[in-house]
Amino acid sequence: TGTGYRSHFLSEAEVAELGGPLDYVRAWLDAEAATPEWRAQQQTARQMTLF
């Protein structure tokens, strides 16, 4: 989103399947980090463009 805020609703069972809240969020972030969009943003942030 434009603000960086994101809501995600799921069942307790879905969280338990991945080992609890921390493991669920870690898996979610790992999946997002594997996307081309995430990598492009990382590269842009690393370059520190002036203009």
Print pLDDT tens along the chain (51 aa).
577 787 889 999 999 999 999 999 999 999 999 999 999 988 888 877 676
Could you tell me the two tokens for 22? 């921390």
Could you tell me the two tokens for 15? 């969280």
Q: Indicate the DSSP class of residue 3.
A: S
> Are the CB atoms for 38 and 32 separated by under 8 Å?
yes
Q: What is the pLDDT of residue 1?
A: 54
Q: Which one-letter amino acid corresponds to residue 16?
A: A
Q: What is the pLDDT of residue 43?
A: 86
Q: Indicate the DSSP class of residue 47.
A: H
Tell me the CA end-to-end span of the chain in Å, nearest whole number: 23
